Amino acid sequence: MPVTPRCDQTAPWGQLTEHFKARGRHVDVRQALAQESARFERMGVHAPYVRADFSRNLLDETTQQLLVQLARACELQTSIEALFTGAQLNTTEQRAAWHVLLRCPADYRAENAAMAQALQEMRASQEAFLAFAEQVRHDPSVTDVVNIGIGGSDLGPAVVVQALEAYRSQGKRVHFVSNMDGDDLGLKLRQLDPNRTVFLLASKSFGTAETIVNAQVARAWMLAAHGFTMDPQVHALPAQLPADLRDLIARRFVAMTSNAEAARAFGVEAIFPFADWVGGRFSLWSSIGLSIAIAIGREQFQALLAGAHAMDGHFRSAPIERNLPVQLALLDVWYRNFFGFTSRCIAPYSHGLRRLPAYLQQLEMESNGKGCDWDGRPLALPTAPVVWGEPGTNCQHAFFQLIHQGQQIIPVEFIVLREQGMGTLEQHRALQANAVAQARALTQGKHTGPAHTHCPGNRPSTMLVLDRLDPASVGALIALYEHRTFVAGRLWGINSFDQWGVELGKNLAKEILNTPAQTATNAAAPQDVMAWLG
């Protein structure tokens, strides 16, 4: 993997630092909009399916030019090419990150022999899971499909299925179970018929505690409905299980995994593999997206991939100044490292995109919430901001008060649809008007009337506009965020494809589970709240 310069080790970084102190931090967006009538037009960036208005951000032309120079000094183009030509980007796990291959069209020519081979294997797996999806879709005996997975094996598919609810085949409900808390699965099981439900076990490792426990409980529930009691703590199917029940499990449970052996031991026969080079956070395009394919069908799934591929093409070829993922990532660096803004709010004015903030939390914070660079040197700068949010207009009646008048500045990213979905045109117009009104209010503020009604204004926001919430647009939007995260990581000098920070807590949980209950006499166990939990 090419080691490219970290942003803080480049000449433009020093220039940006000087510029920030002198003028950059004093940018007044109200004045800028008033003085430059073409600001909106100049600062619009158009990518496939997504347009972005940057004009309400704390940016002047010098900042924009220096940020472009920063990207060049970080040799960003080399990193982008490395992503598309198959460099081993995940250096701490010695893995490639070839998720862009998952969405390339049939006539795509792979960059090299290794990628061509990977592509061929991927196509076979893709064909198998899409064919299975069609089979389920046309099977009237199946009414419910439950995806059991967590993190990337849950959030990506869940956000897409929810966003594309209007495309979901009637007569098939798609559920998502992720939490270790047994109430998640337990409450779902109460609504399900064991004779009409198919479970999709989504786990790259097939070893994630939450997923395995939930899968075992679901299997025990299915067997219990057929008169067989099985310990839900046990992974492997018992040898004495009658053949018809073995067959039942094989028909009702399928797996999407890179660990076929563990899935087989569980009793699964239909295994839809995906390669090691698919990272969890980037996996919804692979067989992990089976729930999406069942919900919307092969054709629409392919449209989702095509939308993502269109964004890939833009990312690879657009110049830095007009490259949307790059521009968003540069803005992240500007706000996080110069202004010191610690969070970014995502406000999708779209009911379908209501879970997007949760998805982005994993994508951005698990990818870029790191403490050292790719050479293991401590980072001198803070990296990923906290990403959070809720859909509009709900957010207006909850936390927007703080964003308008609070002491801290939180850049907001609005997502707005041009075309209406369900509901009346009036409802849609009101929704759009509210999003634009919030952006304007953040910019202009209010300085008349009693002090408690004042809003300081000059608060930054970006507006992303999609024509509609269809598979291609959703694919493009998610690919946009993937690439933005990758670019920000490259600028910060981070390996965005590992997540070692989650290991410590997982291991401690195992240790606690394996330690005898805490008692006053158990001196080995540390005294903490476990004493109250029993």
**Active-site residue (options: 21, 138, 397, 510):** 397
Q: Using CB under 6 A, which of the segments 108-116, 199-207, 227-235, 378-386 binds ligand F6P?
A: 199-207
Q: State yes or no: is 21 an active-site residue.
A: no
Do residues 495 and 89 lie in contact, with contact meaning Cβ atoms separated by under 8 Å? yes
**DSSP label at 45?**
E
**All residues at 6 or more sequence positions from 414 whose CB lies less than 8 Å from its CB, including other chains:** 347, 348, 349, 392, 435, 438, 439, 461, 462, 463, 464
Q: Using CB under 6 A, which of the segments 127-135, 169-177, 205-213, 330-338 binds ligand F6P?
A: 205-213
Q: Does 203 bind ligand F6P (CB under 6 A)?
A: yes
Q: Using CB under 6 A, which of the segments 51-59, 149-157, 173-181, 434-442 binds ligand F6P?
A: 149-157
Site string for ligand F6P, 277-316 (x = CB under 6 A): ---xx-----------------------------------
Q: Using CB under 6 A, which of the segments 66-74, 203-211, 292-300, 349-357 binds ligand F6P?
A: 203-211
* Cβ at position 498, least distance to ligand F6P in Å: 9
Closer residue to ligand F6P in complex, CB, 151/273 = 151
Measure CA 28 to chain center: 33
Count residues contacting ligand F6P (CB under 6 A)?
14
Q: Does 151 bind ligand F6P (CB under 6 A)?
A: yes
- State the Cα–Cα distance between residues 75 and 94, nearest whole angstrom: 22
Exactly one of 78, 205, 401, 527 binds ligand F6P (CB under 6 A); that residue is 205
Residues in 209-228 that interact with ligand F6P by CB under 6 A: 211
SS3 333: helix
Element (H, E) at 400: helix 400-405
* Cβ at position 155, least distance to ligand F6P in Å: 8
Burial call 495-528: b when 16+ CB within 10 Å, e when fewer? bbbbbeeeeeeeeeeeeeeeeeebeeeeeebeee
Ordered DSSP codes for 469-533? -SHHHHHHHHHHHHHHHHHHHHHHT--TT--THHHHHHHHHHHHHHSPPP-TT-TTS--STHHHH
**DSSP label at 399?**
T
Q: State yes or no: is 36 an active-site residue.
A: no
Closer residue to ligand F6P in complex, CB, 205/408 = 205
Q: State yes or no: is 204 an active-site residue.
A: no
**Active-site residue (options: 19, 175, 204, 366):** 366
**DSSP label at 90?**
B
**DSSP label at 372?**
B
Q: Which residues are catalytic?
A: 366, 397, 506
* Contact set with ligand F6P (CB under 6 A): 150-153, 203-205, 208, 211, 280-281, 366, 499, 502
